[in-house]
A and B are shown apart, each in its own frame.
Chain A
Amino acid sequence: MIAPQSKLEGSSMYRGASIFLAGIVVFAILSPLVTSALPAYYSAIVAYAGINVTLAVSLNLVLGITGQFSMGHAGFMAVGAYVSSYLSLTVFNHIQIVGLPLEVSQNLFFAVSLYIGGLASAGLGYVVGLPTLRLRGDYLAIVTLGFGEIIRVVLLNIDVVGAARGLPGIPRWTSFGWIYAIAFVSVLTVRRLMNSAHGRAFLAVREDEIAAEAMGVNATRVKVTAFVISSFFAGVAGGLFAHYLTYLNPAIFDFNRSFEIIIMVVLGGMGSTSGALVAALFLTGLREFLRPLQEITKLDFRMVIYSILLIVLMLTRPNGFFGTREISDFNLFRRFKRNALKVNNPGENHV
């Protein structure tokens, strides 16, 4: 999925768009194949892995690349999930575009509903981020954690979306095509962003906020931008999740969910998009791998293992799997990369 990245650097917008479209088409074709080939249990794992990739990659933008410790990612996911599900349930489930087959019309509406869910989440990210991102690391962690909890508490009290009973009967519109296309788009967005002036500003803020401000980077603005983009993708991932599970409950989006996403980013290496991606796949697999153990002992070892993993990781290898590098930075790919760059992009150091 990220193989084309090395060639993407410095490519024209036209090339980017064509790769993007090609990717979407590939996923659309692959989707029914994967669905029919896998038993239900495994297909669920593959689906959650894809959703987790989007979540981890989007959190990495804030936590790894911009260096801001956000602990409320599940809250933004919840907003996207609830908004898009509510739309689908009340509006889009009952209408159809005249002259289009039901499936096409459904998928178009799904796209709109996901998009609106993402926008709602991004809007909330803006409202939350603008005041709080002026704060320093530790406070930000607590405030975002608090916001995640507030969102959950508020959802528990809104009766239209089922309050504590949950929201059942959401149409199952999420397919593998959708999940992996969105994951692909999120990876691509972050990749493209990192090669732009905006992305450099994100990195500058992470490395040294004061120095970045001295260089004319508006640190608060940069942090809010990262936060809003990240919230958007969290919201979209939430929408995907809701339309896959077909049932929502505020308890799904508790602090543990945020923590799971954080550990994906940390394990992969804060600041590495490929790291976030690999860790999301790895941890989703590990969780299912541990399930038999849990069933035998009747104890939940998963969080214990996660937390030990986290402590050991921080003590011995704080860089995670990849550090801040990407897969394309490793020797295996470097030769190809160099060749590709020679052909496509003579001026490599564009900042």
Chain B
Amino acid sequence: MVEFLQHVINGLGLGSIYALIALGYTMVFGILQLINFAHSDVYMIGAFAGYYASRYFGLADSPGLLSLLIALGCAMGACGALGFTIERFAYRPLRKAPRINVLITAIGVSLLLEFGGQIVFGADPKFFPTLYSAGNTLVFGGVQIEPIQLLVFVVSVLLMVALRFIIFKTKAGRAMRAVSFSHTNAALMGIPVDRTISFTFILGSALAGAAGILVGLTYPKIDPLMGVMFGLKAFVAAVVGGIGNVTGAVLGALLMGVAETMVIAYWAPTYRDALAFSLLILILLFKPSGLLGSHRMEKV
């Protein structure tokens, strides 16, 4: 039982990182009906931004909350800017193009970031510096919680609460929700559609940047292809929760994290990558709108 609880805790830690990435997928899909394939690589850039920022400012010499916040700020800023650039130059010119063209462009951007990253950063894995000095392992009735796990979980939850506030309590958030219903009608109500879409991309990419840092803290080996699998799984999590639904993305991601930890613990670690896709296929077959998603009728 203790062992099982331990795996649940580990799974929730992993799931909370998935959630940060899944949120970006789900927001962009909600507003553009586009799978932003490049999102997983934005997260990779976030990890590298954190890596270079900590080298530039010498953050690893004085690990602590301040160092972590500086790295987070750098990564989120860099990724937000990157998300804006991608949307502005790759997706916006194709707003009226067939869906398949936009999808292909998204894949192109994703591969450009991955293989461009291999050229710029080098293909070898790099070691992410320790930005936060870990204290003692906490033990609750036999279940161990690493301080870094707790930190990751807390940061994720804080960011998700902030996102929820932005979406549901601010004017920009209301504009986002309006645009996701209908571009035309939102424009008629005086909402700047393009600017709202840009804002959505910046928000989602910034979260992915934060996820990059958190992953770097948990698994301190980063390389330009680290986003591929992780991003796909986060996307699957978003679909499982009901794509376009913010709460669903978080729920799906936590489920995904726990399920994956269970597969590693009780079955074969080599199948962990296959699990995500099996889960995706099952959910699409039996409940295509996801756990919390609403079914949309297709209009002619």
Chain A residues packing against B (C-beta within 8 Å): 67, 69, 131-132, 135, 137-139, 141-143, 145-147, 149-150, 153-154, 156-157, 210-211, 255, 259, 262, 266, 270, 299-301, 303-304, 306-308, 310-311, 314-315, 318
By beta carbon, the residue of chain B nearest A156 is B270
- Chain A residues within 8 Å of B192, by CB: none
Given contacts A131-B285, A141-B35, A157-B270, A311 and B280 within 8 Å (CB-CB):
no
B280 with A142: CB separation less than 8 A: yes
- A259 CB contact (under 8 Å) in B111, B268, B277, B280: B111
Which residue of chain B has the shortest Cβ distance to A143 in the bound complex?
B281
B141 CB contacts on chain A under 8 angstroms: none
Check A139–B115 contact: CB distance below 8 A.
no
Q: How far is the CB of A337 from chain B (nearest CB, A)?
A: 29
Is the beta-carbon distance between B101 and A314 smaller than 8 angstroms?
A: yes
Are A146 and B112 also in contact (CB < 8 A) when A69-B100, A153-B270, A300-B118 are? Answer: no
Q: Which residues of A contact B271 (CB under 8 A)?
A: 153, 157
A150-B277 in contact (CB<8A): yes
Set of chain A residues within 8 Å of B94, measured between Cβ atoms: 314-315
Asked if B35 and A138 make an inter-chain contact with CB atoms under 8 angstroms apart, the answer reads yes
Residues of A within 8 A of B108 (CB): 307-308, 310-311, 314
How far is it, in angstroms, between the C-alpha of A156 and the C-alpha of B268 when the chains are bound? 12
Whether B239 contacts A315 by the Cβ 8 Å rule is no
Chain A contact residues: helix, strand, loop or mixed: helix
Complex Cα gap A210–B297 (Å): 13
Given A138-B99, A147-B277, A157-B270: A315 and B35 interface contact (C-beta under 8 Å)? no
- Say whether, besides A135-B284, A304-B116, A153 and B274 are in contact (CB < 8 Å): yes
B280 neighbours in A (Cβ, 8 Å): 142-143, 146
Residue of B nearest to A206 (CB): B100
Q: Does B111 lie within 8 Å of A306, measured CB to CB?
A: yes
Q: Which residue of B lies closest to A210 (CB)?
A: B300
Q: Which of B115, B119, B268 contacts A157 (CB 8 A)?
A: B268
Cα–Cα distance between A209 and B280 once the two chains are bound (Å):
24
Q: Tell me, yes or no, whether B288 is within 8 Å of chain A by CB.
A: yes
Name the one of A69, A150, A308 contacting B103, with C-beta atoms under 8 angstroms.
Answer: A69
Contacts of B116 in A (CB 8 A): 304, 307
> How far apart sit A131 and B235, CA to CA, in the bound complex (Å)?
20
Beta-carbon contact of A301 and B119 below 8 Å: yes
Q: How large is the interface on B (under 10, 10 to 19, 20 to 34, 35 or more residues)?
A: 35 or more
**Are B103 and A141 in touch, CB under 8 angstroms?**
yes
Cβ of A146 and Cβ of B281 under 8 Å apart?
yes
How far, in angstroms, from A156 to B105 measured CA to CA in the complex?
Answer: 31
Interface assignment of B138: CB less than 8 Å from any CB of chain A = no
Q: Does B90 contact A (CB under 8 A)?
A: yes
Answer whether residue B107 sits at the interface, using C-beta atoms and an 8 A cutoff: yes
B185 touches A (CB below 8 Å): no
Q: With A131-B281, A304-B116 given, name 11 new contacts (CB 8 A).
A: A69-B103, A132-B284, A139-B288, A153-B271, A157-B268, A266-B104, A299-B118, A301-B119, A303-B111, A304-B111, A315-B94
Residue of B nearest to A136 (CB): B298
- Most interface-central of A138, A154, A210, A259 (chain B CB within 10 A): A138
Interface residue? B273 (CB, 8 A): yes
Q: Which A residues touch B210, using CB under 8 A?
A: none
Contacts of B68 in A (CB 8 A): none
The reply to whether B300 and A145 contact each other, CB–CB distance below 8 Å, is no
**What's the least CB distance linking A75 to chain B, in Å?**
11
Asked whether, in the complex, the Cβ of A142 is within 8 Å of the Cβ of B235, the reply is yes
Interfacial chain A residues near B236, Cβ < 8 Å: 142, 146
CB–CB A311/B274 < 8 A = no
- A229–B107 Cα distance when bound, in Å, is 25
Contacts of A131 in B (CB 8 A): 281, 285
Question: A157 CA to B270 CA in the complex, in Å?
Answer: 8
The chain B residue sitting closest to A316, CB to CB, is B93
Residues B270 and A304 in contact, CB atoms below 8 Å apart? no
Residues of chain B lying within 8 A (CB to CB) of residue A314: 94, 97, 101-102, 104-105, 108
Residues of A within 8 A of B104 (CB): 262, 266, 310, 314
Within the assembled complex, what's the spacing in Å between the Cα atoms of A126 and B108? 29
Q: List 27 A-B contacts (CB under 8 A).
A: A67-B100, A137-B99, A138-B33, A138-B34, A139-B284, A143-B280, A146-B232, A146-B236, A147-B277, A149-B277, A150-B274, A153-B271, A154-B274, A211-B300, A270-B100, A299-B119, A300-B123, A301-B119, A307-B110, A307-B115, A310-B107, A310-B108, A311-B90, A314-B101, A314-B104, A314-B108, A318-B97
